[in-house]
Structures are given as structure tokens and as C-alpha cells.
């Protein structure tokens, strides 16, 4: 991420937003306390509390208005060379620091994994530094996006390692929202969703800052707004969001807004169309009509009851201005292409331009945007001059109604996030392979087994890799020593071998002295084996299935997480075994060949 203390215009904006959110939190706590006191029967106290409530509510209203103005700030994210209509970028969600030391290091590593938690100080510090760098203001480039994706991919491992379905880990994730009302959840799904939201928001900022006066800048802006549809991925994979800005109606509105802001396609066509041929001008008219219709759809979404109070007024005004602006452009280019109804199309263009200017003048924030004012005035003057010229030539010509322009039926492009481009390594890989050493597994304490070499060898059969499985024992020596079929070997003579391959463990066992060998083993509890073996395939979480394919790790999909559950994807109606999980695989399916030692 970028230096949060750097005094850039964008960092100042983020700092002001964070400060206002802190003040809103304080006022809301005061209001909650005052409302509790308001229930008193003492009339004097009640009057004092009512006065305090009125003061607090007034402060809250002022703070929310100030926050709305910051959230609707578009100029901070535009490039200095901008000559086009400004885009609508989104600010990143602010969060508090999270301390994983107690919940993960002291509780889970010690209690669940039975290991010395102090040995994992480095891993805990690395995780907390990665979160701090990713969730503060990242740089508006590919490096900033990769940092967010790296943290998102790391959350998959964190989920598998430390977030069981039956136990509350106690980690609180705090995030603000565009409405100023903070949200707090213990579900890791909330953390994942917030990271996805910030990825989409960062793409909108990258798209807004491109110089769209050249085709290369337009192409980068198109790509950014297509990838900003991470909001669509968030909408399809997560549900029951605790904050309004991540609710399904809000995400639907944001996806439509990102599709509409692919107006850059129209700018690209305008820039590359040099001739005034009929088909070229008609193509421009149809593309402008398409953009206008998409913005009209966004405007309708923003006026829904749930969204009306949430969406900043400047956003709604900008969307309406763009809808009118592009409808005016469609009539202007239609007039340039046609011989009939030329005057009617120009008159419609002038009327639409004037409506765009009227809506623009009603919004205080938009009035401060000189670039927008210049673009609207320029296009209005161009249409008005053309119309006046025709009006002088045909003073006695009756102007008919302009027919509607059929827009192009180009399907909007939405590019889902590709997390496989950022490869990560499990920070806590020293705990062992996820197939066994995960939060959802249950095993007995580590047992130390002393084996003596006999005439026929050590008397055990091994299968699998990482960790190696004891597939069989010969009655007598191994069984009497306490080794059982189904045990996993985690150490040989004190040397950790959780990640060791089959051949490496065999070599370590063969290299033992005449005194024998000490092996450390763990046993998975049978009730977990049975429970996981009968899980229906349609309950596999869609998000974790994608992450499993991405990372190639062996792990279990998560169940619902507290109040905010991830959506499930039906993948079949039969009962099947879990792919990639040692729990649901029989011993014979782990390795085709076996050998005795």
C-alpha cells in the first residue's frame, strides 16, 4: 500500500473519512446511552435526556451529510488531463486493526493443535502486517490490487486453519460503510466480503483516473470498469451482509453502475471514427442511446425505497445528467446521419442537453466540477448552433417528432476476479497439510511410539504423502507398541515429517539404528471421519471450492458462519465423498501401491 501519512489529495480524503466515521461512532454510542436513560420515570431527567438526544441527533445528521459529501467526491480520483465527463469512483472501506495473538496463537494453536504457540510469533506478525498493508489505502495500480488479492487468498488458509464451524474464535472485524453506520462481525466471511468490496472499489478508482483522451487510456478504463464487477462476484457468493453498502440491492446498483461506466466504449468509438459516413454516425447514435438507457436503469435502481436514502445525492444527479447527456448525443449523431427528421433530432438533442444542464445546476457538488460544466456546455452549444443554422434555412418547415433511436444490443462485459494470478503460500504451513491439520479435524494427542527392528523389518505398511499414513501393522511388535492402522506419522526420531513424501519417511525409517526408532503419530477421531464422509455434495461451499482449485490445497469447505453466511451452490443431488479430503477417502484410494517396512 501507499504511505498513509503522504499528504496526497486522495490520502487526505481517506483520513477525513476515517475521522468522520470515528465521530459518528462516538455520537451513536452517546445516543444509545441517552435512549437507555430516556426510559426513566424521573421527568426532570427525562427532559434533560430529550435535550441531549436532540443535540446528538443534530450532530449525527451534520456528520452524515459531511460524510456523504466526501463519499461523493469524484475530483480526487480523476486524472489532471481529463477532458471527458467524470466517472463515479468508490472509496475504500475503513477498518480497525485486528489482533490475532490471543485468539489464534494462544487459544487455537495451543489448544487445538497442541503446539507451543510461542514458536509461531513470526507467522502471527506476518499475518497482521499483511492485513494492515492490504486494508489501508493501497496504491491505485496493479501492485495495490495484487496486495488485496494476496490477502484475500491468504484468508482461505486462515479459514481452514482457525475458523471451525462449531466454535467462535472471538475475532471482531470492524468496518465502516458509505452510510456512516459501522458494522462488526466475527464471521471471516465478512472480512472476505470487505476485501472483495475494496478490490472492486480500487478498480473504479483506477478506471476514473485514466486519461481518456487517447485510445490506450480508454482501453485501460474499460478494462478497469469491467473488472470492477468484483461486486457481482460478491453478490453471487455472499449473502446476509450486515451493512447496507454490501447488501444485494446495493451490489446490484453498483454492478449496473460499473456496466454503465463502460461508456468508455462510446468514447473509443468516437475517437476512432473520423469519417462522417452514414453508417459511422448512425453507429455513434446507437451506442450513445445504449449508454443513456443503461444510465436510466441505474437511475431507476437508485430511486428504490431502500437505496434512495443511501445513495449520495451527487451520484444520483450525475447518473441523471449522464442519461440526458448521452440521449442528447444520440439525437445529435442521428441528425448527422439522416436526411429526414434532422431538425427534429437536433431539437431533441438541445432539449436533452438543457435538461442535463438543469440537473447539473441543482447539485452543489456537481456545480464545483468545472470539467463537467465544460463538457455539457460544449456539447449543448454544438447542438444549438447546428439547430439554429437549420432553423434559419427552413423557417417555414414544420418540425416533426423525432423517432426513437434503437440502441445497440451489445452485451455488457463483466470480468470476474482472477485470484489465481496471485500465488500465495500458507503462512501457517508449519502446522502441517490441511488435509489433516485443519480447524475442522479432530485428533487425539500426539503419541510417541518406540519400534524395534526385527527380522522382517519394523512390521508396518505405509501409504500416502504429507503426512504418511500407517495403512497396516503386523500383529505383535507394532501393535504391542501402540501403533494402529490409520495413524499419521508426524515425526521420526524428533524430526518433523508432516510434509514429508512417502519415500522420505521410508528412508528415515530404514536409516534407524539397531536400538530402534521413535515415531510420533496422531489418530483422527472416527466420528469426524463418518460425519465428513456422508456430507452431500450440494453443501460444498462455492467460494471454498473455487479457492481449493486455485490453491491446490487439501481442505474442507466451511459451514455457515454466524450471521453472515456464504451462498451454497447445488452441484448434484446424490451423496458423494469429498474430493481432496483425506477424511472421506478410504485407505485404498490414497495410494495405488504399498510396501511393508
On whether both 313 and 367 belong to a single domain, the answer is: yes
Neighbouring CB atoms inside 10 A of 11's CB total: 17
d(CA 84, CA 369): 12
User: What is the number of alpha carbons within 13 Å of residue 301 lying toward its C-beta?
Assistant: 19
Question: Phi and psi of 25, rounded to 5°?
Answer: -60, -45
Q: Is residue 87 part of a domain?
A: no
What pLDDT does residue 532 have? 38
pLDDT of residue 364: 82
- State the Cα–Cα distance between residues 428 and 130, nearest whole angstrom: 14
Residue with cell 452549444: 381
Domain assignment of residue 570, yes or no: yes
C-alpha distances in Å from residue 88, one per residue of 191, 204, 377, 450, 463: 25, 7, 20, 68, 58
Instruction: Looking at the structure, tell me whether residues 325 and 452 fall in a common domain.
Output: no
Q: How many CB atoms lie within 10 A of CB 139?
A: 14
Last residue of a domain, one of 206, 233, 261: 261
Inside any domain, residue 199: yes
Domain count within the chain: 4
Among 235, 261, 287, identify where a domain stops.
Answer: 261
**Does 113 lie in the same domain as 66?**
no
CA separation, residue 304 to residues 61, 68, 347, 483, 540 (Å): 22, 18, 32, 66, 34
**441 domain residue, yes or no:** yes
User: Is the domain of 111 the same as that of 46?
Assistant: no
Same-domain pairing of 250 and 278: no
CATH of the domain at 141: 1.25.40.280
Q: Is residue 117 part of a domain?
A: yes
- Per the domain annotation, does 553 fall within a domain? yes
Q: What is the CATH number of the domain that holds 482?
A: 2.30.42.10
Contact 264, 214 (CB under 8 A): no
- CB atoms closer than 10 angstroms to residue 540: 22
Domain co-membership, 67 together with 142: no
Which positions ≥6 away from 234 have C-beta within 8 Å? 193, 196, 197, 200, 246, 251
Same-domain pairing of 157 and 48: no
Shared domain for 374 and 511, answered yes or no, is: no
pLDDT value of residue 585: 28
Please give the pLDDT value at position 32: 80
Which residues of 351-467 form beta strands (DSSP E)?
Answer: 447-451, 460-463
In a domain, 82, yes or no: no
Contacts of residue 447, Cβ cutoff 8 Å, sequence gap at least 6: 482, 487, 520, 521, 522, 523
Q: Which domain holds residue 522?
A: 433-597
Residues 277 and 321 in one domain: yes
Q: Is residue 140 part of a domain?
A: yes
* 325 and 188 part of one domain: no
Structural contact between residues 259 and 412, judged by C-beta atoms closer than 8 angstroms: yes
Final residue in a domain of this structure, among 350, 382, 412 = 412
* Residue 286 and residue 246 share a domain: no
- Local confidence pLDDT in tens for the 597 residues of the chain: 444 444 455 556 666 667 777 777 777 778 888 778 777 778 777 778 777 777 777 777 777 666 666 665 555 555 544 457 888 888 888 888 888 888 887 778 888 888 888 888 899 999 999 998 888 767 888 889 999 999 999 999 998 888 887 777 778 888 877 666 778 888 888 899 999 999 999 999 899 888 888 889 999 999 999 998 778 888 888 877 788 888 888 899 999 999 998 888 888 888 888 777 788 888 889 899 999 999 999 999 998 887 887 788 888 999 999 999 999 999 998 888 776 567 888 888 899 999 999 998 888 888 888 888 888 999 999 988 888 887 655 554 555 566 677 666 666 678 888 888 898 999 999 888 888 888 888 877 888 888 877 766 777 888 888 888 888 887 766 666 778 888 889 898 888 898 989 888 888 888 877 777 888 888 887 434 333 333 333 322 444 444 444 444 433 333 333 334 444 443 443 333 333 333 322 333 333 334 444
Q: What is the pLDDT of residue 527?
A: 36
**Contact by Cβ (8 Å): 191, 203:** no
Indicate whether 294 and 226 sit together in one domain. no
Contacts of 313 (CB under 8 A, 6+ apart): 68, 72, 363, 365
Amino acid at each position: 500500500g501507499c504511505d498513509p501519512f503522504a499528504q496526497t489529495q486522495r490520502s487526505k480524503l481517506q483520513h477525513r473519512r476515517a475521522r468522520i466515521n470515528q465521530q459518528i461512532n462516538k455520537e451513536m454510542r452517546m445516543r444509545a446511552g441517552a435512549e437507555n436513560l430516556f426510559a426513566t420515570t424521573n421527568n426532570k431527567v427525562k427532559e434533560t435526556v430529550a435535550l441531549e438526544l436532540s443535540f446528538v441527533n443534530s450532530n449525527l445528521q451534520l456528520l452524515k451529510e459531511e460524510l456523504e459529501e466526501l463519499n461523493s467526491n469524484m475530483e480526487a480520483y480523476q486524472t489532471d488531463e481529463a477532458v471527458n465527463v467524470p466517472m463515479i469512483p468508490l472509496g475504500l472501506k475503513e477498518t480497525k486493526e485486528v489482533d490475532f495473538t490471543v485468539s489464534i496463537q494462544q487459544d487455537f494453536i495451543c489448544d487445538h493443535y497442541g503446539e507451543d504457540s510461542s514458536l509461531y510469533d513470526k507467522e502471527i506478525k506476518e499475518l497482521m502486517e499483511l492485513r494492515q498493508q492490504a486494508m489501508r489505502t493501497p496504491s491505485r495500480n496493479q501492485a495495490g490490487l495484487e496486495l488485496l488479492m494476496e490477502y484475500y487468498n491468504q484468508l482461505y488458509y486462515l479459514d481452514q486453519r482457525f475458523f471451525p464451524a462449531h466454535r467462535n474464535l472471538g475475532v471482531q472485524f470492524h468496518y465502516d460503510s458509505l452510510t456512516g453506520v459501522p458494522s462488526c462481525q466475527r464471521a471471516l466471511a465478512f472480512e472476505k466480503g470487505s476485501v472483495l468490496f475494496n478490490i472492486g472499489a480500487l478498480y473504479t478508482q483506477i478506471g476514473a483516473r485514466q486519461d481518456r483522451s487517447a485510445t490506450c487510456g480508454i482501453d485501460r478504463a474499460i478494462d478497469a470498469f469491467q473488472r470492477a464487477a468484483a461486486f457481482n462476484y460478491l453478490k453471487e457468493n455472499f449473502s446476509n451482509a450486515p451493512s447496507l453498502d454490501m447488501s444485494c440491492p446495493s451490489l446490484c446498483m453498483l454492478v449496473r453502475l460499473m456496466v454503465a461506466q463502460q461508456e468508455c466504449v462510446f468514447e473509443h468509438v468516437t475517437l476512432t471514427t473520423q469519417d462522417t459516413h452514414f453508417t459511422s454516425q448512425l453507429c455513434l447514435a446507437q451506442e450513445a442511446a445504449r449508454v443513456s438507457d443503461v444510465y436510466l436503469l441505474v437511475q431507476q435502481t437508485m430511486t428504490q425505497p431502500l437505496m434512495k436514502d443511501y445513495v449520495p445525492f451527487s451520484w444520483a444527479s450525475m447518473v441523471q445528467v449522464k442519461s440526458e447527456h448521452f440521449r442528447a448525443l444520440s439525437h445529435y449523431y442521428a441528425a448527422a446521419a439522416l436526411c429526414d427528421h434532422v431538425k427534429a433530432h437536433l431539437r431533441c438533442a438541445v432539449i436533452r442537453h438543457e435538461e442535463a444542464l438543469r440537473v447539473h445546476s441543482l447539485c452543489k457538488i456537481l456545480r464545483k466540477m468545472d470539467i463537467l460544466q465544460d463538457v455539457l456546455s460544449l456539447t449543448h452549444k454544438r447542438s444549438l448552433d447546428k439547430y439554429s443554422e437549420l432553423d434559419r434555412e427552413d423557417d417555414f418547415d414544420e418540425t416533426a417528432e423525432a423517432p426513437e433511436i434503437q440502441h445497440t444490443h451489445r452485451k455488457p462485459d463483466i470480468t470476474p476476479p482472477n485470484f489465481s494470478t496471485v500465488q500465495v503460500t500458507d503462512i501457517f504451513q508449519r502446522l502441517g497439510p490441511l488435509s489433516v491439520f485443519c480447524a475442522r479435524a479432530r485428533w487425539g494427542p500426539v503419541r510417541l511410539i518406540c519400534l524395534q527392528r526385527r527380522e522382517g523389518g519394523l512390521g508396518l505398511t505405509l501409504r500416502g504423502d504429507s503426512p504418511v499414513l500407517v495403512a497396516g501393522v503386523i500383529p505383535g511388535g507394532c501393535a504391542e507398541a501402540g501403533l494402529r492402522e490409520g495413524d499419521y506419522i508426524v515425526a521420526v526420531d524428533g524430526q518433523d515429517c508432516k510434509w514429508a513424501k512417502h519415500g522420505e519417511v521410508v528412508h528415515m525409517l530404514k536409516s534407524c539404528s539397531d536400538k530402534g526408532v521413535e515415531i510420533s503419530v496422531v489418530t483422527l477421531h472416527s466420528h469426524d471421519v463418518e460425519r465428513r464422509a456422508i456430507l452431500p455434495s450440494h453443501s460444498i461451499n462455492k467460494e471454498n471450492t473455487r479457492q481449493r482449485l486455485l490453491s491446490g490445497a487439501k481442505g474442507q469447505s466451511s459451514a455457515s458462519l454466524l450471521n453472515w453466511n456464504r451462498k451454497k451452490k447445488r452441484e448434484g443431488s446424490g451423496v458423494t465423498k469429498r474430493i481432496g479430503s483425506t477424511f472421506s477417502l478410504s485407505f485404498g484410494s490414497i495410494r495405488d501401491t504399498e510396501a511393508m517396512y
